[in-house]
Amino acid sequence: MVNAKINGKDIQVPENTTILEAAKLNHIKIPHLCYLKGVNEIGACRVCVVEIEGQDRLVSSCNTVLQEGMSVLTNSPKARQARRVNVELILSQHNARCAECVRSGNCELQTTANDLGINSFPYHKDLPAFDWNKEFPLIRDAQKCIKCMRCVQVCDEIQAMHVWDVSRTGSRTTVDVTGGKDITEADCTVCGQCITHCPVGALTVRDDTQKVRDAFADKDKIMIASVAPAVRTSWGEQLGLTHDEASANRLATALRAAGFDYVFDTDFSADLTIMEEASEFVEKLKNAGKNKFPMFTSCCPGWVRFVKMVFPDLVPQLSSAKSPQQMFGAIIKTWYAQILGVEPEKIYHVSFMPCTAKKYECDVSCMDSSGARDVDVVLTVRELGRLIRSEGIDVTALE
């Protein structure tokens, strides 16, 4: 154990604990923006800087290990000033029009600036011009990027896809797609990990809620929703519901209230996928000599993209079965359209999914068993919440 002082208080923490983690263990909050434990401990934002008594220069608490006998001040005048000025400098290169940002209310920079009481900017605003393909499910806004490098590290160290890289030089240094490629040409599996770990709204999922609102406005459309199991269990959190309140029934009622004519659970087609894959596997086993094993499932479009890009030689081992989402789309636009006695084009099918890659999947050109798109739009859990809120539905009052 290491004995030290933080803000005059004697503390004891295990060896090799950083100052930031030691402070956290002792209920002392040190604001930070770039730090991501175990993934990004590079001391880039300099917001977590603290003073060590006897040292001339401040240190970043995220990657400095607390030493025996150290006396750390998280709120010395020097530390306080540096923290504030560094947040102001970050804001000078951040498009802080928070009202227009999906991360408002859930933004680490916004929270940090608010907590510090920053309400005026002393610096010139310096926002770069940029260009991005807004058709892709993953959207990057260079004017919001604070160059924390979390996306680069997550994609390098965890996903090993190296989609993001440091780009440009000197004070123009920023993050961009590796090799300056268009994102559609990068090896991006659309897994969404960079979005999840972006502290601000620089990386977001393409918002498709307006497409659904437009479909609601078309009185000829039959609106059908299919809800993935993960959505069913997690949808209530953002709307302030407890786990018990956020039932599947209440969700179905909310979707009906929003304007959906039919609401289904994707569970159904998950069973279809399993059966298809099982029979495919049995067929392959019959001709074991001609086939390579193991056979891989193809439910996750991120995984399928990963295999195609990184291990193309394994593609023949992927199951040829569609994913539950796409099977549901195919069933709805063929068999269910027959039951309803309508042309598939009249049906507008929205799939609620927990993953960005599903947005990519529904756009794949061959996903049109009926001749029309299997799935018209994929919305994520957050988009579901936004849709419900924008329609003015009070979910607490629903059954």
Partner 1 sequence: MSRLSIMNETKAQATADSLYKDLERRVTGAPPGLCPLDLASSFLKLCASQTCGKCVPCRVGLPQLTNLIEDLLDGKGDMKTVDLIEKTAETISSSADCAIGYEAANMVLKGLKGFRDDYVAHAKTGHCAAEGFHAVPCVSLCPAHVDIPGYIALVNAGRYADAVRLIRKDNPFPSVCAMVCEHPCENKCRRRMVDDALNIRGLKLYAIDHSGHVPVYRDGEKGAEATGKKVAVIGGGPAGVSAAYYLAQMGHSVEIFEQRKRLGGMLRYGIPSYRLPREVLDAEINTLLTAGDIKVHTEISIGGADYPLKKLNEEFDAVFIAIGAHTDKTLKIPGEDAEGVMSAVELLRRIGDYDYPDFSGKKVVVVGGGNVAMDCARSSLRLKADKVTLAYRRRKDDMTALAEEVEATEVEGCEILELAAPLKVEVGADGKAKALWVKQQMISNIKGGRPAPKDATADPIRLEADIIVVAIGQGIDSYNFEQAGIAVKWGCIQALDSEEIANMPGVFSGGDCVSGPATVIRAIAAGKVAAANIDEYLGYHHPIEMPTDVPEPVPHNRPACGRVKMRERPIDERIHDFNLVEKGMTEEEMLQESNRCLRCDYYGFGKFRGGREFRW
Please give the Cα distance from 212 to 379 (Å, whole number): 9
Please give the Cα distance from 226 to 249 (Å, whole number): 13
Question: Considering only CA atoms, which of 121, 120, 51 is closest in space to residue 79?
Answer: 51
Token pair of 146, please?
């604070």
Residue type, 39: V
> Using the rule CB under 8 A, is 345 a contact of partner 1?
no
Q: Which region, judged by CB under 8 A, interacts with partner 1, from 6-14, 23-31, 169-177, 247-255?
A: 169-177
> Using the rule CB under 8 A, is 52 a contact of partner 1?
yes
Interface pick for partner 1 out of 75, 133, 173, 279 (rule CB under 8 A)? 173
**Which residue lies nearer to partner 1 by CB, 181 or 221?**
181
Please give the Cα distance from 206 to 153 (Å, whole number): 22
**Which residue lies nearer to partner 1 by CB, 49 or 384?**
49
> Using the rule CB under 8 A, is 44 a contact of partner 1?
yes
> Using the rule CB under 8 A, is 355 a contact of partner 1?
no
**Which residue lies nearer to partner 1 by CB, 68 or 100?**
68
Cite the beta strand spans of the chain per DSSP E: 2-6, 9-13, 49-52, 59-60, 71-73, 138-140, 164-167, 174-177, 203-205, 222-227, 262-265, 347-352, 377-379
Q: What secondary structure letter does DSSP report for 60?
A: E
Q: How far is the CB of 56 from partner 1 (least distance, A)?
A: 5
Q: Which region, judged by CB under 8 A, interacts with partner 1, from 60-68, 227-235, 261-269, 277-285?
A: 60-68
**Which residue lies nearer to partner 1 by CB, 70 or 347?**
70
> Using the rule CB under 8 A, is 149 a contact of partner 1?
yes
**Which residue lies nearer to partner 1 by CB, 166 or 275?**
166
Number of residues located near partner 1, criterion CB under 8 A: 25
Q: Which region, judged by CB under 8 A, interacts with partner 1, from 50-58, 75-83, 227-235, 247-255?
A: 50-58
Question: Considering only CA atoms, which of 321, 99, 349, 52 is closest in space to residue 225?
Answer: 349
Q: Which region, judged by CB under 8 A, interacts with partner 1, from 86-94, 159-167, 217-225, 295-303?
A: 159-167
> Using the rule CB under 8 A, is 332 a contact of partner 1?
no
Please give the Cα distance from 212 to 261 (Å, whole number): 13
> Using the rule CB under 8 A, is 170 a contact of partner 1?
yes
Hunting for tokens 């434990």 — which residue is that?
37
Please give the Cα distance from 111 to 200 (Å, whole number): 10
> Using the rule CB under 8 A, is 167 a contact of partner 1?
yes
Hunting for tokens 């006396």 — which residue is that?
71
Q: Which residues pair with 214 in a beta bridge?
A: none
Contacts 24+ apart (CB under 8 A), 275-281: 276/319, 276/321, 276/322, 276/327, 277/319, 277/321, 280/319, 280/320, 280/321, 281/319
**Which residue lies nearer to partner 1 by CB, 166 or 285?**
166
Instruction: Restricting to residues 81-100, name those near partner 1 by CB under 8 A.
Output: none
Instruction: Restricting to residues 222-261, name those near partner 1 by CB under 8 A.
Output: none
Three state DSSP letters for 258-318: HCCCEEEECHHHHHHHHHHHHHHHHHHHHCHHHCCCCCECCCCHHHHHHHHHHCHHHHHHE
Q: How far is the CB of 52 from partner 1 (least distance, A)?
A: 6
Interface pick for partner 1 out of 3, 12, 67, 338 (rule CB under 8 A)? 67
**Which residue lies nearer to partner 1 by CB, 57 or 219?**
57
**Which residue lies nearer to partner 1 by CB, 13 or 223?**
13
Q: How far is the CB of 257 from partner 1 (least distance, A)?
A: 48
Q: How far is the CB of 69 from partner 1 (least distance, A)?
A: 11
C-alpha distances in Å from residue 156, one per residue of 34, 38, 153, 356: 16, 13, 5, 19
Hunting for tokens 């040292």 — which residue is that?
55
Interface pick for partner 1 out of 26, 63, 111, 238 (rule CB under 8 A)? 63
Q: How far is the CB of 43 from partner 1 (least distance, A)?
A: 6
Binding site for partner 1 (CB under 8 A): 41-44, 52, 54-57, 59, 63-65, 67, 129, 149, 165-170, 172-173, 180
